[in-house]
């Protein structure tokens, strides 16, 4: 069993620096089998579902514990990382620009070198996504007590997509005891469930629909 109170500190080493730039969820809806996160921005309206029956918020915005798994959801306007780029970036260039921006910041901030890999594919529903995996730069040891066993984070796994001018990503840490293929499948299936709207999403109405 992972001790998430301790493990979460390891995870946050690599993601807290983004909080000042990230946009936060505007509304949350719980269902018996998922947590729905609704985003109503001025120029984009969409929601996604994190599948899972046991759902907990954390003290950090955009980070949740779903069925005992830490999950981060991030949205970021392209102007945060594409300031000097042309407006008409292809999907692959859009995602690559974001990954290069975040990776460079990490390496500069912590004076480290990060090994990472980025691959592109499509979900079952035809949504383009990037699968970005990087090794955690600081190895931690297993810490055991009488009641818990804290295992180290080995990698960070991100599934990234685009909704209009927004980078949308879902991320899970990979602990040494985790199955990477299961985590990848979970992230891809959740990013595949993004629902976009041409108008502002009525959260109360959506809640009625999903909790009939």
pLDDT tens digits, one per residue of 55-87: 999 988 899 999 999 999 999 999 999 876 566
Give per-residue pLDDT as tens, 185-200.
999 999 999 999 999 9
Say how far apart CA 90 and CA 123 lie, in whole Å.
18
Report DSSP state, residue 200.
-
Q: Which residue has the tokens 């066993």?
A: 149
Output the six-digit token pair for 103: 């990776």
Say how far apart CA 69 and CA 52 lie, in whole Å.
10
Mean pLDDT of 8-36: 65
The pTM is what? 0.85
Give the residue extent of every domain in the chain.
4-204
CA 198 from centroid of its chain's CA atoms: 24
Taking all residues of the chain, what is their mean pLDDT, rounded to a whole number? 84
Among 6-15, 123-132, 146-155, top mean pLDDT goes to 123-132
Say how far apart CA 202 and CA 40 lie, in whole Å.
9
SS (H, E, C) 1-17: CCCHHHHHHHHHCCCHH
Return the number of other C-beta atoms located less than 10 Å from residue 80's C-beta: 14
Say how far apart CA 93 and CA 185 lie, in whole Å.
24
């Amino acid at each position: 069993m992972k001790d998430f109170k301790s493990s979460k500190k390891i995870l946050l080493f690599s993601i807290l620096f983004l909080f000042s730039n990230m946009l936060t969820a505007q509304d949350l809806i719980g269902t018996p089998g998922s947590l729905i996160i609704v985003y109503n921005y001025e120029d984009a309206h969409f929601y996604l579902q994190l599948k899972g029956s046991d759902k907990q918020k954390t003290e950090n915005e955009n980070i949740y514990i779903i069925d005992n798994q830490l999950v981060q959801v991030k949205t970021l306007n392209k102007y945060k990382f594409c300031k000097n780029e042309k407006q008409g970036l292809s999907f692959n260039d859009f995602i690559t620009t974001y990954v290069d921006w975040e990776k460079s910041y990490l390496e500069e901030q912590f004076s480290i070198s990060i090994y990472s890999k980025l691959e592109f594919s499509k979900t079952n529903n035809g949504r383009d996504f990037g699968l970005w995996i990087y090794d955690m730069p600081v190895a931690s040891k297993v810490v055991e007590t009488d009641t818990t066993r804290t295992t180290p984070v080995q990698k960070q796994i991100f599934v990234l997509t685009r909704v209009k001018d927004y980078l949308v990503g879902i991320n899970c840490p990979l602990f040494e005891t985790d199955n990477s293929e299961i985590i990848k499948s979970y992230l891809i299936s959740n990013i595949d469930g993004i629902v976009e709207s041409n108008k502002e999403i009525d959260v109360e109405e959506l809640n009625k629909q999903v909790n009939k």
